[in-house]
Amino acid sequence: MPDQKPKMVDFDAALHNENYDAEYLIPPVSPDDLFTLADRKCESLDGQWGFAIDPYENGMRKKWFNEITADDAGFPLPMDFDFDAWESIAVPACFNTQQKEFLFYEGMTWYTRRFYFVPDSEKPRVFMRFGGANYECRVWLNRKLIARHLGGSTPFAVEVTDYLQRENRLLVMVSNRRRPENVPALNTDWFNYGGLYRSVGLYRMPKSFIKDLFVRLVPDGEMNKIAVSVKVEGNARDCTVSIPGLGLDLALKLQDGEGECVVPASPELWSPESPKLYSVTARCEADVLSDEVGFKDFRAQAEKVLLNGKRIFLRGISMHEDSADVGKSLRAQDIEKSFAIAKELGCNFIRLAHYPHSDMAARIADRVGLLVWEEVPVYWTILFGNPATYQCAQNQLKELILRDRGRVSVCVWSVGNENPDNDERLEFMKGLIDTCRSLDDTRLVSAACLVNYKKLAMEDRLAEFVDIVGINEYYGWYRHNMEDLPRELANLDIGKPVMISEMGADALAGHHGSRDELFTEECQEYVYERQIEILSKFAFLCGLSPWILCDFRTPRRQNGFQRGWNLKGLVTADRNYKKKAFFTLQKFYHVKAKQSE
Ligand code: GCB
């Protein structure tokens, strides 16, 4: 039902009211509202939308969402907005890369479009899903505020059944303003791309529908059982799940909308060398959902990690979601290209830093055979003592896990990167670790922990609570004395898996000189050579993911070489040029791969 026409804005009050935002701070949508996407048909709302930047937040002050363009007597008013005459912008895309003037913009933006909707009695429930909007997002459908979401890299969904009309106006406020209470907070070493940079669409569901489907190998180390869990919305009592490739047809009884079963099975196990996937189809009354799943066993045993019962060295590389032309709004072909380069490098593992990347990433990794580390942006210093900040971090983590736990390539959930060790942070992280374990008992939990460089030893209480300890070390770059690296490593053999989650050096592509000259390719190459020489002597290490595959934008880097870019990439941001160090690491990974055959 359309709402009653709202009253005209009191212009004076709007100018004087600095508390204009308060009435729109509705509670954020819950991660529990997400549903398994699998092969669900999307009615895409992508395309050209009307767009305006709004640094003074005038749209909130003057309530543009009410679309009042005349006074109460019907006389037209000079308004500050005109949705249908706004310039148009592509969705999905980072607005920053759409026009030169938008590159460094941080603040409120407005997106709007109209769309038609024709109901379908077979599928009466309708949900609107946003793949990612950085950072705060508020959604009005036909003048009604229907959702607010916090967190720049995870999806959210909201039921719109009751708000849809035949002709609809969708208005979305997205703000990438950095705030101290956000996750991440004010200071990061990456670019703050903004806007509706992942797809937006409608999904129609029957009365009862499958909300969540989670199929995996039972993590008891025996590798001969499969567990299937489903969550159903509606009154259905039964659900069936079939995996024809394994001859499985399972009937699940639902209680309070949930069902689970464990069955004996001996699937061909998934690995980077042999990324075997099986089709699975779940049916619940009129709802049918199909997906591709795989089965693997990934576990820690003393200092080792085992994949399918066999020790594995994680030959990794870190990646940002960033490219020179489209920012973080990567298309499938961009991700495929990066993964192909990682494969060429000899990788079996990628660290998707420092926030959830597009859901396409893990899907492609499933297919091409790369183990994946996924991470939430609990980065450097955030307000660890603030309950709202914790809530937001936990929501982002849940949204990530619910979105991707069905992807067999995912092997690690990482809860943070280089955070200061204090009591508040420890409690915060313990909460996130518990969240990981309660949603998914088949992955290991990690974080990049801190080292005391005077003692050359780990000094981070978090290390005790994670399954894999990540160490970011920059010997040869930020720390000159490379001799300290073996001393530090000798102290890191702590009886649980430890990996070097970062090391590296900046090099401007094509800039050559001696190995002692910073920012030359030779200097970067030399850092890699020396690192590899030392790291390869420490057999307890379970993996390496140097920083980083490609150069990436970051406004905090402003010397004459960097000019707004972090140049630690082994490859340029356009992915067209490999620096010398690429081949150094490639050589090492080929040796490592041979050793593990
Ligand atoms: C780090 C951070 C990473 C930075 C990198 C660097 O330790 O984890 O986000 O980009 O160092 O290049 O300094």
Ligand 1: centre distance to CA 546 (Å)? 10
The highest-level CATH class for domain 209-296 is mainly beta
CATH code for the part of the protein at 311-596: 3.20.20.80
Average pLDDT over residues 182-191: 98
- In the reported structure, the alpha carbon of residue 485 is separated from the centroid of ligand 1 by a whole-number distance in angstroms of 18
pLDDT interval class at 542 (50, 70, 90): very high
Per-residue model confidence (pLDDT) at position 2: 46
Q: Percent of the chain scored above 90 by pLDDT?
A: 95
Q: Is the CB of 189 under 6 A from ligand 1?
A: yes
For residue 8, what pLDDT band results from cuts at 50, 70 and 90? confident
DSSP 263-311: EE--PPPP-SSS---EEEEEEETTEEEEEEE----EEEETTEEEETTEE
* Nearest-angstrom CA–CA distance, 217 and 405: 12
HSE-up (13 A, CA, CB side) for residue 116? 1
Q: Is the pTM of this model over 0.85?
A: yes
- Would you state the pLDDT for residue 4? 60
Q: What angle do CA 173, 178, 182 make, to 5 degrees?
A: 95
For the Cβ of 506 lying below 6 angstroms from any atom of ligand 1, the answer is no
CA of 99 to the centre of ligand 1 (A): 28
Angle between helices 332-345 and 580-595 (to 10 degrees): 70
Q: Is the CB of 320 under 6 A from ligand 1?
A: no
> What Cα–Cα distance (Å) separates residue 124 from each residue in 91, 257, 292?
26, 19, 27
Question: pLDDT digit string (tens) for 84-128?
Answer: 999 999 999 999 999 999 999 999 999 999 999 999 999 999 999
DSSP assignment letter at 584: H
Tokens coding 520: 């030359």
Tell me the residue length of the chain. 597
Cβ neighbours for 57, distance < 8 A, ≥ 6 positions apart = 20, 21, 107, 108
Q: What is the pLDDT of residue 10?
A: 83
Residue 407 banded pLDDT, cuts 50, 70, 90: very high
Q: Are 181 and 59 within 8 A, CB to CB?
A: no
Q: For the chain, where do the domains classified as CATH 3.20.20.80 start and end?
A: 311-596
What whole-number percentage of the chain has pLDDT above 70? Answer: 99
For 11-205, which CATH superfamily applies?
Galactose-binding domain-like (2.60.120.260)
In angstroms, rounded to a whole number, what is the distance separating the alpha carbons of residues 520 and 376? Answer: 32
| CATH 2.60.120.260 placement within the chain | 11-205
Do 519 and 511 contact (CB within 8 A), yes or no? Answer: yes
Q: Which residues contact 450 (CB under 8 A, 6 or more apart)?
A: 418, 419, 420, 421, 458, 459, 460
Evaluate if residue 1 carries a pLDDT over 60: no
The pLDDT of residue 169: 98
Q: If pLDDT is split at 50, 70 and 90, which confidence band does 13 have?
A: confident
Chain segment 465-507, per-residue pLDDT in tens: 999 999 999 999 999 999 999 999 999 999 999 999 999 999 9
Mean pLDDT along residues 579-593: 98
**pLDDT recorded at residue 597:** 79
pLDDT of 347 above 90: yes
Q: Is the pLDDT confidence value at 400 over 90? A: yes
Q: Is the CB of 551 under 6 A from ligand 1?
A: no
Q: Is the beta carbon of 375 within 6 A of some atom in ligand 1?
A: no
Helix 359-368 crosses helix 387-404 at what angle (to 10 degrees)? Answer: 40
Task: Tell me, using a 6 A CB cutoff, whether residue 313 lines ligand 1.
Answer: no
CA 506 to ligand 1: nearest atom: 12
For the chain, report the end-to-end CA distance as a whole number of angstroms: 65
Residue 318 Cβ inside 6 Å of ligand 1? The answer reads no
Q: Residue 298 contacts by C-beta under 8 Å, 6 or more apart in sequence?
A: 305, 306, 307, 371, 411, 442, 443, 444
For 45-75, what is each residue's pLDDT tens digit? 999 999 999 999 999 999 999 999 999 899 9
Q: Which residue is it, tokens 């204090």? A: 422
CA of 500 relative to ligand 1 center, distance in Å: 13
Boundaries of CATH 2.60.40.10 in the chain? 209-296
From the DSSP assignment, how many helices (H) and strands (E) are in the chain? 9, 34
pLDDT in the model for residue 127: 98
Residue showing tokens 């920059």: 474
- Strand locations in 135-181 (E): 136-141, 144-150, 156-159, 167-175
Ligand 1 atom closest to 554 (CA): 10
Cα R_g (the chain), whole angstroms: 25
Hey, whose CA ends up nearest to atom 7 of ligand 1? 472
* Arithmetic mean of pLDDT over the chain: 97
Pick from 310, 403, 330: nearest CA to 549 = 330
Nearest CA to ligand 1 atom 9: 189
Residue with tokens 């937001």: 392
Q: Among 379, 566, 567, 570, say which to mutate for ligand 1: greatest number of ligand atoms within 8 Å of CB.
A: 566
pLDDT tens figures, 275-299: 999 999 999 999 999 999 999 999 9
